[in-house]
Amino acid sequence: MLPKHNRLRRSRQFSQVYRQGKKAVSAHLIMRVLPLPTALSESPCIGIVISQKVHKRAVVRNRLKRQVRAALRTLLPRLKPSLWIVINLKPEATQCEYGEFLRELEQLFTKLEVIHGHS
């Protein structure tokens, strides 16, 4: 589980990221990032979305969400502050394992320039 201060919770936050955020796509993930004014949030807030199109069984969707959250926990300290991030999983993600999620998340964060050391 991500710490409470690192979670996107409100529908309006998700909507804002979908409307105004920068988008990057990989084989299994779609990521949208919205930089915020520094005063709003010190740490990045992340939301993970897995629709029923990915898999109809909630057990499978929950397993995928746990794997993505575990990969995010390792990358969280390297993320820049004041970001809202939404990660959508594609149906192909059901074949994906933890290591692949970690690699793809790191690639997407680098592409969107939200990891420290990349500007």
For residue 101, what are the contacts with CB-CB under 8 A and spacing of at least 6? Answer: 28, 29, 67, 68, 71, 93
CATH of residue 52: 3.30.230.10
Helices 98-111 and 58-75: angle between axes, nearest 10 degrees: 60
Residue written as tokens 């575990």?
A: 70
Number of domains in the chain: 1
113 found inside a domain: no
79 found inside a domain: yes
pLDDT tops 60 at residue 119: no
117 found inside a domain: no
58 found inside a domain: yes
Is-contact 84 119, C-beta < 8 A? no
Lowest mean pLDDT among 31-35, 58-62, 113-117: 113-117
CA 18 to chain centre: 12
Query: DSSP class of residue 56?
Result: S
60 found inside a domain: yes
pLDDT tops 80 at residue 97: yes
Dump the DSSP string for 62-87. HHHHHHHHHHHHHHGGGBPSSEEEEE
Mean pLDDT of the chain: 93
Domain encompassing residue 52: 4-105
112 found inside a domain: no
